Amino acid sequence: MNGVYLLKMKVLVTTSVVSVFVISKLFTNLSLILILAPPITFGVITLLLNKYWYKIAYYHDFPNVLRLFFACAGGVLLDPLNLSYLLGGLILIFVGFFANDEAMRRLYRQKGVIVLSGIDATGKTTHAARIAEWLTSKGLKCEILRFHRYLFVDKLSRMKLKVSKTKVQRDIPAKTGKLSVIRPYLSLVDNMLLYFLRVVPNIAKNKWTVCDRFIWDNYIKYKALGYNLKGLDKLYFLTRPRIGIVLDIPPKKARERIKKRPEHIQYTEEQFMTERKEFLKLADENGYLVVQTTKPLREVEKTINLYLQRFLE
């Protein structure tokens, strides 16, 4: 990032904070306009300049628009007579002034996030490890994050089983017990926390994250099992990384594979068919790669690496 450009942004942020602070104290009814007008004006101007003059991505300065919004909100919030408002305003101004816009730009694009999805037994965990090894060989920092390893949902389930002294029935994927009613909601909160606590910091640090499954995998699983998901569809699909790979195998083959895993929940072929349809639809809507993992491992690995190479260049 050009040092002169960074200096200009800091000057703009400082000028905006001072102007907004003074005007908001003189005209208290203009607070909302003072928060929104500067970033919107800046956003429109930079959008037009980037698209038609500089010939770069129109959204290039969106992170700086966000910085200006935080700064203006902080300027309006500043109140020497109210400690809470004063602290809140100072924090917002600090973020607006010192935020690394390159890191914010990576967050906006979700740069460095690779999602592996698909029905059970397609090799997601295996290929997540292979991708991580491949990225490391390229000199890139990376981390594998497993979205089926919950922060707290599984702990709640185990606590319930311990209290009721019930044995886990791995062959019955049914909606039983009181927890099952709210489980889709808890899973969403759990996975969103996992995303913001682990994935977002990695993006900001320019560290790649290989996601073994993702937030929407739970939605698709619950849908196949017949859970009530009213109002959750948009929330589960709110975050859509640019790099996605759907690993695919016939449902019959998936059923054969999990039969050999006694510890695995024995989902039916019909449930896998429902899930597969959803995953293929997801891939089509987002332009994700679909790979048949019934092919030899090396061939699948080569296809995936060729796809990922596009995002490294």
Over the chain, what is the mean pLDDT?
Answer: 86
Q: What is the pLDDT of residue 154?
A: 59
Q: What is the pLDDT of residue 37?
A: 95
**What sign does the CA torsion over 232, 235, 238, 240 have?**
negative
Nearest to 145 by CA among 92, 94, 198, 182: 198
Dist CA 276 CA 312 (whole Å): 29
Q: Is the pLDDT of residue 3 over 60?
A: no
Q: What Rg, from alpha-carbon coordinates, does the chain have?
A: 24
The pair of three-digit structure tokens given for residue 136, joined into one six-digit string: 């490391």
Dist CA 192 CA 188 (whole Å): 6
Beta bridge partners of 209: 113, 143
Dist CA 303 CA 293 (whole Å): 11
Cβ(43)–Cβ(62) under 8 Å?
yes
Tens digits of per-residue pLDDT, 134-155?
999 999 999 999 998 766 665 5
Dist CA 3 CA 50 (whole Å): 19
Q: Is the pLDDT of residue 131 over 60?
A: yes
The pair of three-digit structure tokens given for residue 251, joined into one six-digit string: 């449902």
**Which residues are CB-neighbours of 128 under 8 A, at least 6 positions away?**
116, 144, 146, 210, 211, 212
The pair of three-digit structure tokens given for residue 135, joined into one six-digit string: 């990225």
Given phi > 0 = left and psi -120 to 50 = alpha, else beta, which region is 177? left
Given phi > 0 = left and psi -120 to 50 = alpha, else beta, which region is 54? alpha
Q: What is the pLDDT of residue 108?
A: 57
Tens digits of per-residue pLDDT, 199-249?
988 887 889 999 999 999 999 999 999 998 988 988 899 889 999 999 999
Helical (H) or strand (E) element with 252 = helix 251-259
Q: What is the pLDDT of residue 292?
A: 97
Q: What is the pTM of this model?
A: 0.68
Tens digits of per-residue pLDDT, 61-116?
888 898 899 999 999 999 888 888 888 889 889 888 877 666 665 665 678 999 99
Predicted confidence band at 177 (pLDDT cuts at 50, 70, 90)? Answer: low
Cβ(113)–Cβ(211) under 8 Å?
yes
Show me where the domains of the chain are located.
3-106, 110-312
The pair of three-digit structure tokens given for residue 141, joined into one six-digit string: 């920092």
Q: Is 144 helix (H, G, I), strand (E, B) or coil?
A: strand
Domain 110-312 has CATH 3.40.50.300: yes
Neighbours of 169 (CB within 10 A): 11
Tens digits of per-residue pLDDT, 288-307?
999 999 999 999 999 999 99
